[in-house]
Amino acid sequence: MGNLFGRKRRSRVTEQDRAVLQLKQQRDKLRQYQKRLNLGLERERALARQLLRDGKKEKAMLLLKKKRYQEQLLDKTENQISNLERMVQDIEFTQIEMKVIEGLKIGNECLNKMHQVMSIEEVERIIGETQDAVEYQRQIDELLAGSLTEEDEDAILEELNAITQEQLELPEVPSEPLPEKIPEVSPIKNRPKPELVAAS
């Protein structure tokens, strides 16, 4: 039965993903092969010992030659596994690099579009207009500040002082003179003596 809506779904699996999967599968097969070789080597070593005990030295020698060949195969297999793992890592890292490059490309295109919208001449024009507006406002402020008379300045200062005094609200200063010396009273002398209570 086909897709319900007649559209083929696009697979998210890339060629690189397939290659990585195949490499990992091959690596796993080699590891299984290694395990089989290791088990075989142990059996053959045990069998060679048994043959030597039974006095069959030539058969034991032949078995040890076979074992030696399988050990060489095991070393080659280990090298192949290392190569496969290195290849997988290289592909995965290259995929990351490609994503970074794609991101940089998109960012660069975006910056170029923004630069086209706002050219250097446009920025210089806006800065110039802003500086003109600031200068114009400064001139207006100077004119307004210069139109105040000395009486206006004094009135403004008086109002500022009045507002400051309202905010402080300090207590009034007493009009009577302060006494010269305050009599000293010892708190211990005037305190009544506590009565001793006998313990019952």
The helix/strand/coil state of 12 is: coil
The helix/strand/coil state of 119 is: coil
The whole-number average pLDDT for the span 33-54 is 88
Q: What is the residue whose two structure tokens read 């995965």? A: 92
Check pLDDT > 80 for residue 146.
Answer: no
Percent of the chain with pLDDT over 90: 18
Give the pLDDT score at 122.
82
What is the per-residue pLDDT across 59-101, written as a single tens digit (0 to 9) for each?
888 888 888 888 898 899 899 989 989 999 998 899 899 999 9
For residue 106, which amino acid is it? I
Check pLDDT > 50 for residue 200.
Answer: no
Alpha helix ranges (H) inside the chain:
15-53, 57-117, 120-146, 150-168
